[in-house]
Structure 1
Amino acid sequence: MSQTDTVTDTGEIASVSGPVVTATGLTAQMNDVVYVGDEGLMGEVIEIEGDTTTIQVYEETSGISPGQPVENTGEPLTVDLGPGVLDTIYDGVQRPLDVLEDEMGAFLDRGVDSPGIDLEASWDFSPTVSAGDVVEPGDVVGTVPETVSIEHKVLVPPDFEGGEVVEVNDGEHTVTEPVAVLDNGEEVTMHQEWPVRQARPSEEKFTPTEPLITGQRVQDGLFPIAKGGTAAIPGPFGSGKTVTQQQLAKWSDADIVVYIGCGERGNEMTEVIEDFPDLTDPKSGNPLMARTTLIANTSNMPVAARESCIYTGITIAEFYRDMGYDVALMADSTSRWAEAMREISSRLEEMPGEGGYPAYLAARLAQFYERAGRFETLRGEEGSVSVVGAVSPPGGDFSEPVTQNTLRIVKTFWALDADLAESRHFPSINWTESYSLYKDQLDPWFEENVAPDWPEERQWAVDVLDEEDELQEIVQLVGRDALPDDQRLTLDVARYLREAFLQQDAFHDVDTFSPPEKTYEILTAIHTYNDEAFAALEAGAPIEEITSIDAAPRLNRIATQEEYEEYVEELEAEITEQLQALY
């Protein structure tokens, strides 16, 4: 949305309180976009009481004073959708940062605006319909090669009536030129606008049954998320939330990735912006940015824009979902989003809830995560939006309101542990506090596509780790040597589960991504060691000799092997041979 939009009414500023401005004499509706002050700063109507209209401004408001004009566009905050959204970096209200940088350098002026996509760029449109065909909302009328990785499907907008195609225009066109004309006069272009706070319509929402493969063993192996599922990554400062989400963005098997840096430190977003263009997509060999959109709204940017960036990202994700793609959205972090809501709420003098957050915090979180899911699109195809939200609880306190309200909504919980991070165990996901409610509905997929005994192997690993957790309490009291031999052996097996299976090196060329087949092979190799070791123990072999065989430490090397199948086969044979030689 740009300042060239039609102005429907004009008022004037009555007061200014940070990002919250009140205006009088303005005829407006809730969520209308307005332009505030002489510089025309973008804002949104958030409260109307009598003749007083309250506006949250998406830019720094210093210098704005009472008496300056306020212009109403009469339209809600929308995003520009069409070819050109991918391989682009936006701010929280979908202003393309690279375009603005070219115009004014690294520091943006206030009041500047730019369309979310280039309205002048031409795209090669290939129609999939002909004159005489009947199309309905959500149908595809043609395709455009948006990037080297993604074919953009031009859809009949959801708010069209549809009808018979009377004209098709193939070839090079800008996004605002009609590529198809219907008998009722509706013109289909490659450009759509959609209100960010309104979910795009779909035909039906399904139960997810296919996992979102992340390439991270602790997640795929123990706590999987479904395509169309929701997950939370809470953790204290320095526990690895951002790196974990970046790993998911890089390696998850979604078709499209939308990464939202919501209120995070500028240096972290700089790292993302610098790294992503250089990354290669493991699926296609093309640049990863060819299927990625970044929304950068750092902690020094205006607080109101931080509140809107979450909605901008989820609307873009829904747009590609409607084309039949699987989209993964990473929000880092929803705590900063909630803090923005808290600040705006306090300036509105609303009654605070727990922790000073607004009473509607839980409702807003639910509305956001509810837009995730596996859907049947309006044209009958399947698409999904998976949402992974990082949470930054102050002091690592998971009982604070944002974490607790998120836990009531999401079905996968990856709890990051500061103690694990300090001991250099990454990903620092605590296996005793984390959980996934998708396991039962995803097990049939793993059984069919990876191994029939996948659920049994996973449950064995969980049981061993749980037993180790209980034994550690005893070890702290009486020492490891006071335990019976079988319990000492359990601790040894659990150590290999932690070091060879749960730990993963994000910076190793091979170990950074572990396909499910490799995850399973590592688990079964450790299980083989467990079975053979306990067999040797029962046959009378000394525990010291069992735990000191030469082959066992090589379990830690499986993760870094590119040709892991042959390595695992030889290792299992060697472990079996060395342990059986003890009795």
Structure 2
Amino acid sequence: MNSNSKRTGSLISIQDSLVKARFFENVIMGETAEILVEGKFLQAEVLQVASDPKNAKAGIVEMQVFEDLTGAKIGDLVVFKGKALSVLLGPGLLTSIWDGLQNALYPLSEQDSYLKPGMKAPALDEEKLWDFTPSVKPGDSVCGGQVIGSVPEGRFDHKILVPFDFGKCKVHTIIESSRVNITQTVALVIDEHGKEHELKLVFSHPVKSPIPFMQRSIPNKTISTGVRVIDLLAPVAYGGTVGNPGPFGAGKTVMQHTLCKYALADIIIMAACGERAGEAVEVFKDFAELADPSTGESLMNRMCIFGNTSSMPVAAREASVFIALTVGEYYRYQGYNVILLADSTSRWAQALRERSGRQGDIPGPEAFPMDIPDQIKGMYQRAGADTASGGSLTFIGTVSPAGGNFQEPVTQATMDSTGGFWGLSQDRADAKKYPAIDPLVYTNSVYDSFISKEDREQIVKTLQEANDIDQTISTIGLKKVPVEKYVLYQKGQTIDFCVLQQDAFHELDACTRPERLQIINKAVQKLIETPIHFSNGEGEDEELKEQIKTEFDRLRLWWKDWNSNAKSETELASLPEQIEHFVLQEQYA
């Protein structure tokens, strides 16, 4: 979608971020436009095109505006750009922080302390020099998506690609190995119609047109996230999808920080698509100072962040998600494993609801658009693994249901669209349990774990039985619970306290890799499977239960200490040994 002619219109209606304009030349659905408001151009996107009932020679276009329209008035000039909402792809994406329209935030901050409508900044550094090495020569045939060279981007090899919408072309000229910036031409190609095209290190791609897979495959390789409850009971594979719902204050942001630091992926993309401004600012400040535990380098060297907060216009929330998705697809095409964290898809859906209401569409449940399940599914379907490139895009979307109600439409549609689900519990969060993922409620996964399915089922069964006994104790009291049931309850409490909970701020306990996880699972299975016979002579049941609790408390303290300190092979092996002594009720240290 490109047009060199200048096509204009004028505003005839303004309703918050939704406007209408009259035009007299061709306008295309989905193209971008700019509205001149008080000397500044504000970016918009065409949603609908219709005939003008008052003027047969004119048409009416409906647009959503991505910036604050304060000061706009009827008659303001509209300039149609002739291209779809696009993202600039190329070297320099990593380490960058943008707003929801890919304006670089740090250069914007140099213009003004506050983000104001109409402010613009280059998406990528136009002065930085990159060491370009060509991989094709004059006379070679190339097509869209093919590699013509590469530049080093930190520790990554960034491939320079022919834009994906190009057909078959022939390389006319290409520069030799040299240092160039993103504004310089590196190659000249000629298409089948004899038209010349200049290729640079960067190119634009429409954000609502998915970058194609080379060879799509079913996600089957499990990601080590470092979070025990996830890797044990609700794992995610490279190229998989996960919904992460939870009420406010349940720990979604802390979990995202943990995943950014410890998930074994090449690249992490954060899309703050409507997150509260204070939390987004905290991310911008903290991540620039954090070290990547895997490399010792700055964590930002493998990250990029879109900071589109809840204080920004709702239309920009939708744009930020699609821009982030396209960047993720771009790096997947390059052969890298990418994790996209979107926070929060609820506010993205709320933006759709507001736009739909202003357009007068028939509302669905809770006034969301009727097609909200299809829109959510379409978003998650852009994730996936690519066998040919070796890359993957894993999409983890947080959901913020009002009042923690998992039955609301966005959460339900997310559950239907994703392969994994990490439901956060307000009760567990209030009890200071981190992560507050409830293993018994809305927590599931279609992906393989690092441990067997049978072991996973055994753990969940034990936790469920322990939870049922806990309910019984709360209802009729401890005295009515048989000793053997009380032992089972204590086993479940031990698994919950020592395995499912972690210290996100402890250097060792914050991250558990598969080898360590398998040792923990071995100990857990031994604890679950083996009957434990406690003896209290001729004492009363109450005394025996107190003794049982004391013994399990000692075990839990020892296990917690092991989580925080065991590093060597000998120290790691001591956990299964300790459990062996415990279940046999032998003396142990």
Question: TM-score w.r.t. structure 1 length?
Answer: 0.91
Aligned residues: 565
* 1:563 and 2:567 correspond: yes
User: Which of 152, 159, 163 is residue 153 of structure 1 equivalent to?
Assistant: 159
Residues 105 and 7 (structure 1 numbering): CA distance in 2 closer, same or farther, change over 3 Å?
farther
1:273 aligns with 2:273: no
The 8 Å contact of residues 552 and 575 in structure 1, kept in 2 or not, is answered as no
Aligned to 2:56: none
Name the residue aligned to 2:541.
none
1:547–1:527 CA distance, 2 compared to 1 (3 A): farther
Contact 2:520 2:575 in 1 (8 A): no
Give CA deviations for 1:191-210 in whole Å, capped at 9, x if unaligned.
Answer: 11001111111233211110
The equivalent of 1:45 in structure 2 is 46
2:511 maps to which residue? 513
- State the match for 2:21 in structure 1: 23
Query: Measured at CA, do residues 118 and 418 of structure 1 come closer, stay the same or move farther in structure 2, by a change above 3 Å?
Result: same
Residue correspondence of structure 1 range 420-499 to structure 2 within 5 A: 420-439=428-447, 442-443=448-449, 446=450, 454-499=452-497
Offset from partner CA, 1:41-91 (integer Å, 9 cap, x none)? 111111112111111111110110001111101111101111111101111
In the TM superposition, residue 579 of structure 1 has moved relative to its aligned partner by: 5.2
Q: Kindly report which structure 2 residues correspond to 1:110-121, keeping only aligned pairs within 5 A, or say none.
A: 110-121=117-128
Q: Distance in 2 between matches of 1:401 and 1:493?
A: 37
CA distance in 2, matches of 1:319, 1:73: 24
Q: Is the 8 A contact 2:267 2:302 kept in 1?
A: yes
How far residue 505 of structure 1 moved from its aligned partner, in angstroms, is 1.3
Matched to 2:465, the amino acid is E
Displacement of 1:215: 0.7
What's the CA shift for 1:273? 0.5
Task: Indicate the residue corresponding to 1:503 in structure 2.
Answer: 501
Is residue 522–residue 559 contact of structure 1 (8 Å, CA) maintained in 2? no
Question: Of residues 299, 303, 311 in structure 2, which corresponds to 1:300?
Answer: 311
Q: What TM-score do you get using the length of structure 2 for normalisation? A: 0.90
For 1:94, the aligned partner's letter is Q
Identical-pair percentage: 34
1:535, distance to aligned residue in structure 2 (A) = 4.5
In 2 relative to 1, CA 580–75 (structure 1 residues): closer, same or farther, beyond 3 Å? closer
Residue aligned with 1:125, SS: strand
Spell out, residue by residue over 1:221-266, the C-alpha distance to the aligned partner (whole angstroms, 9 max, x if none): 1100111111011111111122222221222111111101111111
Q: Is the 8 A contact 1:254 1:327 kept in 2?
A: yes
Structure 1 residues 142 and 209, CA gap change in structure 2 (3 angstroms): same
| Counterpart residue identity of residue 255, structure 2 | T
Pair 177,535 (structure 1): closer, same or farther in 2 beyond 3 Å = same
In the alignment, residue 392 of structure 2 is paired with which amino acid? S
Give the Å deviation of 1:574. 4.2
Query: SS state of the match for residue 550, structure 2?
Result: coil
Deviations 1:290-322 (A, max 9, x none): 110100011111111112111011011111111
SS of residue paired to 2:220: coil
CA positional deviation for 1:280: 1.1
| 1:449 alignment partner in structure 2 | none
Contact conserved, 1:168 with 1:181, CA < 8 A, in 2? yes
Deviation of 1:577 (Å): 3.8
SS in 2 for 1:416: coil
Q: Residue type of the partner of 1:118?
A: D
Distance 1:397 1:22 in 2: 36
Of the structure 1 ranges 208-217 and 511-520, higher mean CA displacement relative to structure 2 is found in 511-520
Is the CA contact (8 Å cut-off) linking 1:37 and 1:68 kept in structure 2?
yes
Quote the residue 2:550 is aligned against: 548
What does residue 55 of structure 2 align with? Answer: none
Matched, 1:122 2:122: no
CA distance in 2, matches of 1:435, 1:316: 29
Give distance in 2, aligned partners of 1:14 and 1:581: 82
1:394 aligned to 2:374? no
Q: Residue type matched to 2:122 in 1?
A: P
Partners of 2:562 and 2:109 in 1: CA distance:
46
State the match for 1:11 in structure 2. Answer: 9
